[in-house]
C-alpha cells in the first residue's frame, strides 16, 4: 500500500510530455506509475529521473503495456493496484502520430485504425477501468477524491489536412474528457483536458524548421516552443486539486496559438 501518499498513473510516461508530467507529479509528492511499450531496461533513465524529481521517498513503477490492447490495459491497472493499492490520478497521455503524414485524399484505413486504437479507444477504455476502481475507492472512503486528466492537442480544433486521423482522435479526446467529467462527478472525482500546442517532443522533431519559422513570424503570443515541463505544470495544478469546482475544464497550454487575434 502507498499509505498516505497519493498515486498517479501516466501512460506514455517514459519520454517527452509524459516524462515531464511524471516528474512534475513526483515533485508534488505523488508516487508515480507510468507505462509504455518499451522493455523495462530501456526506461531505467526515466525511472531515475522521476524518482530524482521527488522527495527522496517517491516510489516509481514502470509497466510495459500497450494501451490499445484490452489485456494490456487490464494488466496495467492490476499492476498498479498490486504495487500501490490505490490510484488517485490517471493521466491519459500516450499517443502516436500517423505512420505517414498523408493528404486526406490518400490516407489509408490501416493507418487510421492504428492511430484511433492508440489515441482514442485505448484511453477511453482505460478510463473505464480506472473509473470503476475509483468508484470502489470512493465507496470504501467517502473522502476519496480522484481525477482523470486527458492530454489533448490544439489539433482538436486546428485543422491539419495531412493528419486527419490525428485531428479526429484529439477531437474525440476532448469529448471523452467532457463525458467522463459528467460521469465521474457522482463519486467525487473529476476529469479535465490539457491541450498543448507546438511542443518539443520526438513527434515534432521532424517539423522543427517549419515551426521555428512560424513562431518567429508570430504564430504564438509567447514566442517560443512549448516544453514538456509546461504541460507537467498544468497537470500538477489539476492533479493536486488547485482548480476546484471546475469539472471538464480545458487548459490551453499553447503559448497563445489559439488565442483569437485581429
Read off the DSSP letter of residue 56. Answer: S
Look up 211 and say whether it is catalytic. no
Is 6 strand, coil or helix?
Answer: coil
The gap between the terminal CA atoms of the chain, to the nearest Å, is: 54
CA 138 to chain centre: 23
Q: Which is it for the CA torsion 38, 41, 42, 48, positive or negative? A: positive
Instruction: Name the active-site residue from 62, 124, 150, 166.
Output: 166
Q: Which is it for the CA torsion 67, 69, 72, 78, positive or negative? A: positive
Nearest residue to 90 (alpha-carbon basis) of 125, 59, 51: 125
Q: Which residue has the cell 487490464?
A: 74
Nearest residue to 80 (alpha-carbon basis) of 31, 118, 43: 31
CB 7 within 8 A of CB 84: yes
Sheet with strand 31-36: strands edge to edge: 60-64, 31-36, 7-11, 89-92, 146-151, 189-196, 250-253
* E-only strand ranges, the chain: 7-11, 31-36, 60-64, 89-92, 146-151, 189-196, 250-253
Annotated catalytic residues are 166
Amino acid at each position: 500500500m502507498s499509505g498516505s501518499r497519493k498515486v498517479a498513473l501516466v501512460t506514455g510516461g517514459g519520454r517527452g510530455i509524459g516524462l515531464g508530467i511524471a516528474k512534475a507529479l513526483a515533485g508534488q509528492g505523488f508516487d508515480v506509475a507510468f507505462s509504455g511499450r518499451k522493455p523495462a531496461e530501456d526506461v531505467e533513465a526515466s525511472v531515475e529521473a522521476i524518482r530524482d524529481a521527488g522527495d527522496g521517498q517517491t516510489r516509481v513503477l514502470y509497466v510495459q503495456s500497450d494501451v490499445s490492447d484490452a489485456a494490456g490495459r487490464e494488466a496495467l491497472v492490476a499492476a498498479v493496484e498490486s504495487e500501490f493499492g490505490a490510484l488517485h490520478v490517471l493521466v491519459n497521455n500516450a499517443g502516436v502520430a500517423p505512420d505517414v503524414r498523408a493528404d486526406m485524399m490518400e490516407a489509408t484505413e490501416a493507418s487510421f485504425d492504428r492511430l484511433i486504437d492508440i489515441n482514442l479507444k485505448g484511453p477511453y477504455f482505460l478510463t473505464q477501468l480506472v473509473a470503476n476502481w475509483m468508484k470502489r475507492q470512493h465507496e470504501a472512503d467517502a473522502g476519496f477524491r480522484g481525477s482523470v486528466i486527458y492530454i489533448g492537442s490544439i489539433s482538436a480544433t486546428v485543422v491539419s489536412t495531412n493528419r486527419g486521423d490525428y485531428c479526429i482522435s484529439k477531437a474525440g479526446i476532448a469529448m471523452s474528457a467532457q463525458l467522463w467529467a459528467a460521469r465521474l462527478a457522482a463519486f467525487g472525482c473529476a476529469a479535465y483536458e490539457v491541450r498543448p500546442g507546438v511542443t518539443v517532443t520526438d513527434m515534432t522533431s521532424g517539423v522543427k524548421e517549419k515551426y521555428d519559422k512560424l513562431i518567429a513570424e508570430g504564430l504564438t503570443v509567447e514566442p517560443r516552443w512549448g516544453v514538456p515541463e509546461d504541460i507537467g505544470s498544468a497537470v500538477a495544478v489539476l492533479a493536486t486539486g488547485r482548480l476546484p469546482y471546475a469539472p471538464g475544464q480545458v487548459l490551453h497550454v499553447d503559448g497563445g496559438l489559439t488565442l483569437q487575434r485581429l
